[in-house]
Amino acid sequence: MTDVSIEPRTGGLPLDSLACPRCDGALDTAGTGLHCNGCNITFPVLGGVPWLFSEPNAALAEWRSRYQYTIERSNQDAVRARNEASAATRGSTRNRLTRLADARAAFAAELSSILEPLAGQPSDTAVETHLALKTRLPPGQGIDTYHANIHRDWCWGDEENQTSLDLVRAALPESPQNLLLLGAGAGRLAFDLHRTNPNQHTVALDINPLLVFIGANLAAGHPVALHEFPLAPKTATDVALPRVLENATPAAPGLHWVLGDAMRPPFQAGAFDALVTPWFVDIVDQDLATTAARINRLLEPQGCWVIFGSLAFGSPEYAQRYSLEESLEVIADAGFERPDVTETTIPYLCSPASRHGRREQVVTISAMKSREAEPIERHTTLPDWLVRSNLAVPLLSSFETQAISTRIYAFIMSMIDGKRSIAEMAKQMEEQQLMPKAEADAAIRNFLIKMYDESRSGMRY
Ligand SMILES: C[S@@+](CC[C@H](N)C(=O)[O-])C[C@H]1O[C@@H](n2cnc3c(N)ncnc32)[C@H](O)[C@@H]1O
């Protein structure tokens, strides 16, 4: 990267390091955003952070709906806790529930405030375009999926952060010039790495706007209010804690934030001499082999990749749930050599207000790019038959099974009239020759339990 004068649309990040996430072409400044001439699309800058999703409007609409969902859920929780508080007979229970109700309502307001940069943008959903590009946000990730990581980063003290910093720092070259963190979360590690080498460009990319806006605010020295809801509260007070995240020493210039999808990284090939993936490679819905090839492309020759965190691959394909030994082979196949591996047991997400906390045996792998990886296709998340309307939908075996269950569930639902019992419904199932009565009784009960549980827990992202 060459140094240029501060460009507000990139938060000071040199423009020549950025690339269009759709075509990898160069970006230019345009109005208040960044423009790709080849694709004729402008990427906005929200809250001072470039929004470099391949279909920016659709990503904005999706994140908006996810955060509005979280806000609604939080407000509903507040109402529910308040109702339960007024029905509670014990004073201590009433106090706890009132505290929880107040905190859930305050949390909704805090989210709205932090995510305010998303609110004012025009909504142009373009879901079809989004699908045509076969990109979408990971379906399982909500706006507050990594809520605990935020407080760990900026509120619970230094132990966990310092341990991570020491391990990653030791695995990196002494003074990288251009360092990228993919899946940087709320950004404490990026901030700390930048602090230890303030002359480098440090780029923190994440897909989640809540995390990135919080990181960017704190790095600039602006405090952020955000309630904590410990998993296993130690006391009644710990059920909900008003927290103010603070950072007294703003980051030196050169720490940059980017919102985007690491599977479509919006950077030029060879833009970085060091790259860290903290707690990342095993949580993305992408084979490690593909992730490694993408990372190879972003690094310059002899660039260093540091993998840090767990190797708990959750892929639906067993073949992609790699052991450490296999992971090292996969990395080597993607053009990296001389991997240096350390394994260390560290505390993980241990809130001082929670009885819950983990110890994880983390790996730190540092490997050098020794050759270019084989080119890989652009990331897609959906098969063609789901994107295009004119292709036959394949009769997958899972669809066949689902079709049978759906018919049975529909029949059960049609029998629910507020009068029939489980036994009466089971008798009808037997009469329709769908199932013997004894089996039907258990099947109907299980189905109703599932429906009942879902109605109580609500939908969760
Ligand atoms: C397990 S968390 C780790 C976060 C952070 N490194 C930490 O240690 O707290 C995984 C992170 O990856 C981010 N993430 C998930 N999928 C992503 C994607 N496709 N592109 C960029 N970030 C992604 C999540 O938002 C989350 O911040």
Query: Where does the pLDDT of residue 137 fall: very low under 50, low under 70, confident under 90, or very high at 90 and above?
Result: low
56-369 has CATH 3.40.50.150 classification: yes
CA proximity to 294, closest of 320, 325, 267: 267
| Listed range (196-210, 288-302, 405-419) with the worst mean pLDDT | 405-419
Which residue has better confidence, 13 or 220? Answer: 220
**CA–centroid distance, residue 146 to ligand 1 (Å):** 8
Could you give the C-alpha distances from 382 to 133, 225, 386, 387, in angstroms and in order?
9, 38, 6, 7
Which of 263 and 122 is assigned the larger pLDDT?
263
* Position 1 pLDDT exceeds 70: no
Contact 354, 238 (CB under 8 A): yes
How much distance in Å is there from the Cα of 326 to the middle of ligand 1?
23
Tell me how far the alpha carbon of residue 185 lies from the centroid of ligand 1, in angstroms.
5
What does the DSSP 8-state code read for residue 14? -
Mean pLDDT of the chain: 91
**From 206, 218, 363, mutation site for ligand 1 pocket: most ligand atoms within 8 A of C-beta:** 206
**How far apart are alpha carbons 137 and 69 in whole angstroms?**
15
Q: Among candidates 397, 401, 408, which has minimal Cα distance to 440?
A: 408
**Nearest 10 degrees: CA dihedral of 77, 461, 309, 19?**
-120
Return d(Cα 49, Cα 410) in angstroms, integer: 47
Sign of CA dihedral 394, 395, 399, 403: positive
Q: Please report the pLDDT score of residue 400 as a whole number.
A: 87
Question: What count of Cα atoms within 13 Å lies in the side-chain half-sphere of residue 89?
Answer: 0
pLDDT bin (cut points 50, 70, 90) of residue 4 is very low
| Average pLDDT value for residue range 118-130 | 56
| 8 A C-beta contact, residue 255 and residue 204 | yes
Rounded Cα gap, residues 272 and 287, in angstroms: 22
pLDDT given at position 446: 87
For ligand 1, the distance from its centroid to the CA atom of residue 85, given in whole angstroms, is 36
Kindly tell me if the per-residue pLDDT of 127 is higher than 50: no
Say whether pLDDT at 105 is over 50.
yes
Distance CA 461, CA 139 (A): 8
- Rounded to whole angstroms, the Cα distance separating 8 from 179 reads 20
Whole-number Å distance, alpha carbon 206 to ligand 1 midpoint, is: 6
Name the band, by pLDDT with cuts 50, 70 and 90, for residue 66.
confident
Predicted local confidence at residue 457, as pLDDT: 65
Residue 5 pLDDT more than 60? no
Spell out which residues line ligand 1, taking CB within 6 angstroms: 138, 146, 149, 183-185, 206-208, 211, 261-263, 278-280, 283-284
Among 49, 168, 207, 285, name the best residue to mutate to test ligand 1's pocket (greatest count of ligand atoms within 8 A of Cβ): 207
320-328: long-range contacts at Cβ-Cβ below 8 A with a sequence spacing of 24 or more?
A: 320/287, 320/288, 322/288, 324/363, 327/288, 327/365, 328/365
Residue with more model confidence, 362 or 451: 362
Mean pLDDT of 76-99: 97
Q: What is the pLDDT of residue 125?
A: 45
252 CB neighbour count, 10 Å cutoff: 14
How would DSSP label each residue in 57-116?
Answer: HHHHHHHHHHHHHHHHHHHHHHHHHHHHHHH--SHHHHHHHHHHHHHHHHHHHHHHHHTH
**Domain range summary for the chain, segments of one domain joined by +:** 8-50, 56-369, 395-457
210, 258, 279, 280: residue to mutate for ligand 1 pocket, most atoms within 8 A of CB: 280
Instruction: Provide the token pair at 357.
Output: 């906390």
Question: What's the pLDDT at 450?
Answer: 85
| φ, ψ dihedrals at 344, nearest 5° | -140, 140
Other Cβ atoms less than 10 A from the Cβ of 364: the count is 22
Comparing 110-114, 376-380, 385-389, 391-395, the range with the smallest average pLDDT is 385-389
Q: Report which of 62, 215, 219 is spatially closest to residue 131, judged by C-alpha positions.
A: 62
Nearest residue to 304 (alpha-carbon basis) of 370, 254, 376 = 370
- Give the lowest-confidence range in 251-260, 272-281, 445-454: 445-454
Note the pLDDT of residue 112. Answer: 96
Centroid of ligand 1 to alpha carbon of 280 (angstroms): 6
Distance between CA atoms of 356 and 345, rounded to whole angstroms?
A: 17
Pairing type for strands 272-278 and 299-309 reads parallel
> Closest Cα to atom 5, ligand 1: which residue?
185
Task: Provide the pLDDT confidence category of residue 187 given band limits of 50, 70 and 90.
Answer: very high
Task: State pLDDT tens for residues 215-256.
Answer: 999 999 999 999 999 999 999 999 999 999 999 999 999 999
Indicate if the pLDDT at residue 264 is higher than 90: yes
Q: Considering only CA atoms, which residue is closest to atom 25 of ligand 1?
A: 208
pLDDT(443) > 90: no
ipTM, 2 dp: 0.99
Going from the Cα of 243 to the center of ligand 1, the distance in angstroms, rounded, reads: 22
d(CA 149, CA 171): 22
What does the alpha-carbon distance between residue 97 and residue 81 come to, in Å, rounded to a whole number?
A: 5
Q: What percent of the chain has pLDDT over 70?
A: 92
At 119 the pLDDT is 85
User: What is the pLDDT confidence band of residue 385, given thresholds at 50, 70 and 90?
Assistant: confident
How confident is the model over 314-331, as a mean pLDDT?
96
Q: In the prediction, which pLDDT does 381 show?
A: 66
Q: What is the pLDDT of residue 305?
A: 98
Max CA pair span of the chain: 79
Least confident piece of the model among 1-15, 133-147, 257-271, 447-461: 1-15
pLDDT in tens, 341-359: 999 999 999 999 999 999 9
Of all residues in the chain, the percent with pLDDT exceeding 90 is 72
pLDDT 10s digits, 17-42:
999 999 999 999 988 899 999 999 99
Q: Name which residue leads in pLDDT, 457 or 171.
A: 171
